[in-house]
Chain A
Amino acid sequence: MSPSPGTGARAAVRALQAALAAENSAVYGYGVAGAHLTGARRAAAVRDWVAHENARDTLTVMLTARGGQPAAAAAAYQLPFPVRGAPAAVAFAAYLEDRVTSVYLGLVTLNDPALRAFGAAAVRTAALRATAWRGSTLAFPGLDLPVPFVRSR
């Protein structure tokens, strides 16, 4: 059951839209997380925030080139847990990166080799950022998502 070229192109647009949605929520999320961080961690949040803005722009261009209509960001997003204070902000940043990692794995299933490679590179980048926030590694980034956990104090 090999997909027709039309189905492949539609699947690519769908996967790119999902990645764009995740990037949009990450841009919003880093705005929330950054507000609770100071010093080096705030600088890291700003750096990652900019990286997600750039990724969003890249995906917008890729979608437009494929005849897709890039979905607009929502005005606000529901947070997975209350983000008050630095520990929760750090856990939230790791959570955002886990979500982004998972969504980019969707691009790796596509038939287009260039999109597969693009997806794998983005999976790696997001997993590295998640590790920097979490301070530890996952065996299967994007595949087995950890339950978000906020250390109390």
Chain B
Amino acid sequence: MECWAARRYAASVDLTRRGVLAAAAAALPLVAVSCKGVGALGTPPKAAADVAVARDAITVESSLIARYGAVLAAVPGLAGELQPLLAQHQEHLARLRARLILPTPQPTAPPSATPSAGAPATPSAALAYLRDAENAAAAALLAHLRVAPPSLAQLLASISASEATHALILDAHGRHR
């Protein structure tokens, strides 16, 4: 039904009733909402897939940040090498969180994504541990590439490439030790 027709229909129904003003006040917002709804039906609702993919990516990033935190606590001497990479992960997380349109705050990381117990204590082992985590994250971010909406797919591919370059730098730091 076209919007003008919906309004005329609502008006004619109202005129047959008593308390016209009260009914019109109640009916008009409904008409307005339904007109907007008719327009929105033209495109399939992709928001759910978008949110699920973004949430998974947020979990991946949160897990990486937790690993960096654990390594920095165990081997503070690596701060110079690790801080620039950690700062970029914070940027990744912020941009992924900005994709979530839901107002409810998400948990920062599920229990499985807090691996602080397993952080190695020597610099070279810690660098290898983070390099492997970066490579795993790079692969995990591409897992949902085909179902992601175009702009989110670009963001995932870019962040995944960033993780791969982090692994390259961590590997270089490891070999220079």
User: Do these two chains really belong together in a complex?
Assistant: yes
Q: Which of B85, B145, B158, B165 contacts A116 (CB 8 A)?
A: B145
Interface residue? A4 (CB, 8 A):
no
Interface residue? B84 (CB, 8 A):
yes
On chain A, the residues within 8 Å of B159 by CB distance are: 140
Please choose the segment from B5-13, B48-56, B113-121, B149-157 that sits at the chain A interface, where 4 or more of its residues have CB less than 8 A away.
B149-157
Contact A136–B84 (Cβ < 8 Å): yes
Chain B residues numbered 135-167 whose CB sits less than 8 Å from any CB in chain A: 138, 142, 145-146, 150-151, 153-162, 164-166
User: Interface residues of A toward B: which range?
Assistant: 20 to 34
Q: A132-B168, A140-B95 are in contact. Are A113 and B146 (CB under 8 A)?
A: yes
Contact B43–A123 (Cβ < 8 Å): no
Kindly name the residue among A119, A120, A139 whose own CB sees the greatest number of chain B CB atoms within 10 A: A139
Q: Distance in Å from the Cβ of A18 to the closest Cβ of chain B?
A: 14
Give complex CA distance A109, B87 in Å.
27
On chain A, the residues within 8 Å of B85 by CB distance are: 137
Q: Distance in Å from the Cβ of B39 to the closest Cβ of chain A?
A: 12
Chain A residues numbered 44-92 whose CB sits less than 8 Å from any CB in chain B: none
Contact B169–A123 (Cβ < 8 Å): no
Contact A128–B165 (Cβ < 8 Å): yes
Contact B168–A123 (Cβ < 8 Å): no
Q: A105-B154, A109-B150 are in contact. Are A137 and B166 (CB under 8 A)?
A: yes
Give complex CA distance A142, B142 in Å.
16
On chain B, the residues within 8 Å of A43 by CB distance are: none
Q: Distance in Å from the Cβ of A32 to the closest Cβ of chain B?
A: 24
Number of cross-chain contacts by CB at 8 Å = 91
Give complex CA distance A109, B166 in Å.
24
Interface residue? A101 (CB, 8 A):
yes
Whose C-beta in chain B lies nearest to the C-beta of A138? B162
Interface residue? A117 (CB, 8 A):
yes
Q: Which of A109, A130, A139 contacts B154 (CB 8 A)?
A: A109
Interface residue? A141 (CB, 8 A):
yes
Q: A109-B150, A143-B155 are in contact. Are A137 and B169 (CB under 8 A)?
A: yes
On chain A, the residues within 8 Å of B42 by CB distance are: 1
Interface residue? A96 (CB, 8 A):
no
Whose C-beta in chain B lies nearest to the C-beta of A140? B158
Chain A residues numbered 116-133 whose CB sits less than 8 Å from any CB in chain B: 116-117, 119-120, 123-124, 126-128, 130-132
Measured CB to CB, the residues of B under 8 A from A are 42-44, 84-85, 87-88, 91-92, 95, 138, 142, 145-146, 150-151, 153-162, 164-166, 168-169
| 9 A-B pairs with least C-beta separation | A109-B150, A127-B161, A139-B88, A131-B165, A113-B146, A120-B157, A139-B91, A137-B165, A124-B161
Given contacts A117-B146, A123-B157, 9 further A-B contacts (CB under 8 A): A1-B42, A109-B153, A120-B156, A120-B160, A127-B164, A136-B84, A137-B165, A141-B158, A142-B157
